[in-house]
Amino acid sequence: MCASFWAWLFFAAGALVAQQGTPPKRQATPKQENGSIQGRVVNAVTGEAVKKAEIVLFRRDSQQNQSYTTNASTSGWFAMQDLEPGRYNLSVSKRGYAHLTYGAHGPGRPGAAFSLDPGQHLADITLRMSPQAVIAGRVVDEDGDPVPYIGLQLLHYSYRKGKRKLEPWDNSSTNDLGEYRLFGLSPGKYYLSATPAEGPRLYTGRQGYAPTYYPGTSDPASAGALELQPGTLLRGVEITLMKTRTVRLRGRVVDPVGPATMGVNVMLTPREDADYLFERQLSANMDSQGGFEFPSVVPGAYLVQAFKHAGASKVYAASQAVDARGNDVENIVLELAPAAELKGYLRVEGRVLANVADLQVYLQPDGPNYAGWPGGPVKADGSFTTPNVIPTHYELNVHGFPDDYYIKSAAVGGKDILEAGFNFTPGTSGTIEIVLAGTGGQVEGVVLNADQQPATGASVVAVPDEPRRTQWRFYKEDHTDQYGRFTIKGIAPGRYKLFAWEDVEEGAYQDPEFIKKFDALGEAITIRENSHESAQLKLIPAGGKKAAK
């Protein structure tokens, strides 16, 4: 790396001067001079001042969730004084406008890191807020008559585990006239679904209304997109519910500790690998003997789950997969059993972690789990307990460790669970063993655009080599600050490619087909334990495949 690059990249770093003579036993570290910022909040469409907007400056490089808050004046101006040096996120919110983060390529998008050097005073920051968009309309039946009290979900596409699926963005319901209104929306592309409430109120005979996507289809892939611009008021968006044949599901809950109706909930959720992330669940009608019924269900494959909370900390649960594609399903038996408890131990390698008790271990269920995520805090000796583990597939999560650490390994009963998780079944035994390493590598550098200028707010992603691209834990991301600088810490040893996108959907780079389009534009890098690497990256422009020259 050339000397001129390092001089420019670290221009804000001060020189440390060695002191002569015998130092005192306790020598205080000189306090760094604090800085300040000031700027203005304006309407992105009209340029007019946005008064009384709330501005939040959140510290990114601190474990203490440090933040500063102020409000814009009647003329839109704001100022924050006595700010500690560091990396921040700057955001602004105001009713009637879409939430905005400094450096973001539009509302709802991740923003730039915001660096404040010692003694720095930054002025003329402009935050351009987009006026909220609104969608209004009604839901009608096949005869064009309005249908009241229908649940509405506003959806958008998002990437999860390398797959692009629909997920909820907002929700509402129709009033007594079948009308709805969704407001406070950011600009973007959305999809709308209407889900009828369960029960005989909406059903006649063996027909009922299926979950329906705008303008009137039961297939998410055929749904019509709604494009919203800043301040858009989209009226007359009408959904016609789709009528379909229905089936009935009936069974009973067996509770070994008491009446099956006391505090028991029975839920029904589709179990196909669909193109949506949201759960379309139904709650059963139950009688006094523990019998339950779903009177009118769209044919399909489902998971029936029963759960009961006994006190504040004990859960009983049962589940059964059912195939209801053809006829009614009778005599489903759900035998409640107490959820299990798994114990574990977390060990730290490399640098000592100051406070292990700040960590939380969670087991993330794959699919619907109405009993919640099992998990708990790590004690000072590294031990932990995850209560209320019910039979399903889980992935391990550890929260609260510094960004320069990484999860090196995790196993249950000596079997690795980091790569593919683990299936918990009744009788599963073994201790969860986790190794957290403080020897992660680091890469820092700068992103330049086609004009060789620093690129603010670029998404810099370390993508692992192909054998490890199915494992989310190896992906690391940062966003450049106002000087185009980035720092990625806690990288597990191995080979990676660095990409710098002007704008990219979060998680898109975990999609094999997506990353294949850009693979030639990545900067290859090898990370070793405790290594510190540097890189100068070319910006990949938004909407294009060609990197800056």
Average pLDDT over residues 334-343: 90
Question: What pLDDT score does 108 carry?
Answer: 67
- Cβ-contact 137, 127 below 8 angstroms: no
Task: Please tell me the distance from the alpha carbon of residue 69 to that of residue 66, in angstroms, as a whole number.
Answer: 10
Question: What pLDDT score does 275 carry?
Answer: 54
- Cβ-contact 284, 292 below 8 angstroms: yes
CATH superfamily of 441-538: Carboxypeptidase-like, regulatory domain (2.60.40.1120)
Mention the CATH class of domain 340-437. mainly beta
Question: What pLDDT score does 141 carry?
Answer: 93
C-alpha to C-alpha distances, 508 to 98, 129, 159, 197, 448, nearest whole angstrom: 23, 26, 6, 34, 22
Task: Please tell me the distance from the alpha carbon of residue 56 to that of residue 71, in angstroms, as a whole number.
Answer: 9
Confidence of residue 279 (pLDDT cuts 50, 70, 90): very low
Q: Which class for 195: exposed (0-12), middle (13-18), buried (19 or more C-beta within 10 A)?
A: buried
What is the residue whose two structure tokens read 């050339």?
A: 2
Average pLDDT over residues 427-445: 91
**Among candidate residues 44, 97, 88, the one with its CA nearest the CA of residue 66:** 88
The ranges assigned to domains in the chain are 35-129, 133-245, 248-338, 340-437, 441-538
Task: Please tell me the distance from the alpha carbon of residue 408 to that of residue 92, in angstroms, as a whole number.
Answer: 37
Average pLDDT over residues 130-136: 95
Q: Is the pLDDT of residue 129 over 50?
A: yes
Pairing status of strand 329-335 against strand 300-310:
unpaired
The backbone torsions φ and ψ at residue 496, rounded to the nearest 5 degrees and listed phi first, read -140, 170
Confidence of residue 22 (pLDDT cuts 50, 70, 90): very low
- Cβ-contact 361, 396 below 8 angstroms: yes
**Among candidate residues 430, 434, 436, the one with its CA nearest the CA of residue 343:** 430
**Among candidate residues 194, 192, 224, the one with its CA nearest the CA of residue 210:** 194
Task: Please tell me the distance from the alpha carbon of residue 121 to that of residue 25, in angstroms, as a whole number.
Answer: 35
- Beta-ladder partners of 67: 58
- Cβ-contact 494, 465 below 8 angstroms: yes
- As separate numbers, helices (DSSP H) first and strands (DSSP E) second, the chain gives 2, 43
Summarised one tens digit per residue, pLDDT across range 485-534 is 999 999 999 999 999 999 998 889 999 999 999 999 999 999 999 999 99
Summarised one tens digit per residue, pLDDT across range 48-93 is 999 999 999 998 877 667 889 999 999 999 999 999 999 999 999 9
- Please give the helix or strand (H or E) that residue 168 lies within, else none: strand 163-173
Fold matches, 35-129 and 441-538: yes
- Residue 508 CB contacts under 8 Å (≥ 6 apart), including other chains: 159, 164, 514
Q: What is the DSSP letter of 28?
A: P
Give me the percent of the chain exceeding a pLDDT of 90: 52
Amino acid in position 150: I
Question: What pLDDT score does 162 carry?
Answer: 82
- Beta-ladder partners of 409: 435
Amino acid in position 232: T
Q: What's the fold here for domain 133-245? A: Immunoglobulin-like (2.60.40)
Amino acid in position 500: A
Average pLDDT over residues 256-267: 77
C-alpha to C-alpha distances, 421 to 72, 373, 390, 411, nearest whole angstrom: 47, 14, 15, 9
| Exposure b/e, 209-229, CB count within 10 A at least 16 = b | bbbbbbebbbebeebeebebe
Question: What pLDDT score does 546 carry?
Answer: 55
**Among candidate residues 215, 264, 257, the one with its CA nearest the CA of residue 240:** 215
Task: Please tell me the distance from the alpha carbon of residue 404 to that of residue 194, in angstroms, as a whole number.
Answer: 44
What is the residue whose two structure tokens read 């979900």?
A: 153
Q: What is the DSSP letter of 178?
A: S
Summarised one tens digit per residue, pLDDT across range 197-251 is 654 334 445 677 888 999 999 888 899 999 999 999 999 999 999 988 888 899 9
| Exposure b/e, 504-534, CB count within 10 A at least 16 = b | beebbbbbeebbeebeebbbebebeeeeebe
User: In the sheet where 314-324 sits, what is the strand order?
Assistant: 282-283, 264-270, 300-310, 314-324, 337-338
Pick the most confident of 29-38, 362-371, 439-448.
439-448
The backbone torsions φ and ψ at residue 102, rounded to the nearest 5 degrees and listed phi first, read -55, 135
Task: Please tell me the distance from the alpha carbon of residue 266 to that of residue 320, in angstroms, as a whole number.
Answer: 11
Q: What is the largest CA-CA distance in the chain?
A: 95
Task: Please tell me the distance from the alpha carbon of residue 49 to that of residue 442, in angstroms, as a whole number.
Answer: 41
- Beta-ladder partners of 435: 347, 409
Task: Please tell me the distance from the alpha carbon of residue 47 to that of residue 128, in angstroms, as a whole number.
Answer: 8
Pick the most confident of 22-26, 274-278, 309-313.
309-313
Question: What pLDDT score does 368 carry?
Answer: 64
| Mean pLDDT, rounded, of the chain | 85
- Cβ-contact 487, 444 below 8 angstroms: yes
Task: Please tell me the distance from the alpha carbon of residue 498 to that of residue 443, in angstroms, as a whole number.
Answer: 10
CATH of domain 248-338: 2.60.40.4130
Task: Please tell me the distance from the alpha carbon of residue 328 to that of residue 337, in angstroms, as a whole number.
Answer: 26
Task: Please tell me the distance from the alpha carbon of residue 248 to that of residue 267, in angstroms, as a whole number.
Answer: 14
Question: What pLDDT score does 201 carry?
Answer: 38
- Cβ-contact 247, 324 below 8 angstroms: yes
Q: Report the first-to-last Cα separation within the chain, whole angstroms.
A: 18
**CATH of 35-129 given 3.40.50.300, 2.60.120.1060, 2.60.40.10, 3.30.70.1170:** 2.60.40.10
- Cβ-contact 533, 496 below 8 angstroms: no
Question: What pLDDT score does 262 carry?
Answer: 73
Higher pLDDT, residue 404 or 261 = 404
Task: Please tell me the distance from the alpha carbon of residue 69 to that of residue 63, in angstroms, as a whole number.
Answer: 18
- Residue 59 CB contacts under 8 Å (≥ 6 apart), including other chains: 65, 66, 67, 84, 86, 87, 88
Sign for the CA dihedral angle at 207, 208, 212, 218 comes to negative
